[in-house]
Amino acid sequence: MTRSTSIINEKDGSEMVLVPAGNFIMGEERKTVHVDAFYIDKFPTTNFQYKKLIDTTGAKEPFYWDDERFNKPLQPVVGVSWHDAVAYARWAGKRLPNELEWEKAARGIDGREYPWGNAQPDNTKAVYNLDPNTGAPVPIGNRKDGASPFGCFDMAGNVWEWCEDWYEEGKFRVVRGGSWVNHHYILRSAYRSCSYPEGKDNNVGFRCVKDVK
């Protein structure tokens, strides 16, 4: 059966791209791992999309919703906890990615350091290393040279992205990808970090995945 390489998720209007089943090179250890096919959001979830959840369900507004640095419609939503991200994903008929899915979507199958290849980041590829007091995420898709092999944008820098997995069981959840405030080393696709699931930071957002039927 031929699957569409991209779909539109009806509930939130997000464009999703297909990551086919198969092996890829994962982690600092560069292990070969198999992942089943899935669809993943082409971009992080935006404030515009999150507002649909608020308007239709009465969900609570994210922590930085009234802050002009962080509340533009096409900026990635921030100030959302892991629980908030899970609730959005369920509402939209999707789920959070597990780490294997996130990393394969970010780096492709060939073990590259960053979504675009092995060259270190620059300002055409990623949003990073900004002043924590004045910087902010940029609108989605702004760094077109930073796309992953599957056509995902903003998977290095801009905002960290919640994953489904525990980093430390019962304590921390995994975040991946680095953010607008981080050093370029942290933007590597294999880099793992974590946050309290209740945390609502100004540099953490999410994107969703959907199982292939």
- Domain span at residue 100 reads 6-211
Question: Is 62 inside a domain boundary?
Answer: yes
**Cα gap 52→57, rounded to integer Å:** 8
State the pLDDT at residue 213.
81
Question: Is 33 inside a domain boundary?
Answer: yes
Q: For every one of its 213 residues, what pLDDT tens digit does the chain have, with 9 covering 90 and above? A: 567 899 999 999 999 999 999 999 999 999 999 999 999 999 999 999 999 999 999 999 999 999 999 999 999 999 999 999 999 999 999 999 999 999 999 999 999 999 999 999 999 999 999 999 999 999 999 999 999 999 999 999 999 999 999 999 999 999 999 999 999 999 999 999 999 999 999 999 999 999 998
CATH of the domain at 130: 3.90.1580.10
**Cα gap 51→33, rounded to integer Å:** 37
CB distance 152 to 110 below 8 Å: no
Report how many domains make up the chain. Answer: 1
Under DSSP, is residue 65 helix (H, G, I), strand (E, B) or coil?
A: coil
Under DSSP, is residue 109 helix (H, G, I), strand (E, B) or coil?
A: coil
Question: Is 1 inside a domain boundary?
Answer: no
Residue 8's region, left for phi above 0, alpha for psi from -120 to 50, else beta, is beta
DSSP labels for 153-212? -SSSBSSEEEEEEEEETTTEEEEES--TTS-GGGGSTT-EEEE-TT---TTEE---EEE-
Task: Record the tokens describing residue 6, joined without a space.
Answer: 């991209």
**Cα gap 190→72, rounded to integer Å:** 30
Q: Which residues fall within 8 angstroms of residue 198, CB to CB, at 6 or more apart?
A: 81, 82, 83
**Cα gap 201→183, rounded to integer Å:** 17
Question: Is 175 inside a domain boundary?
Answer: yes
Largest separation between any pair of C-alpha atoms in the chain? 51
**Cα gap 110→108, rounded to integer Å:** 6
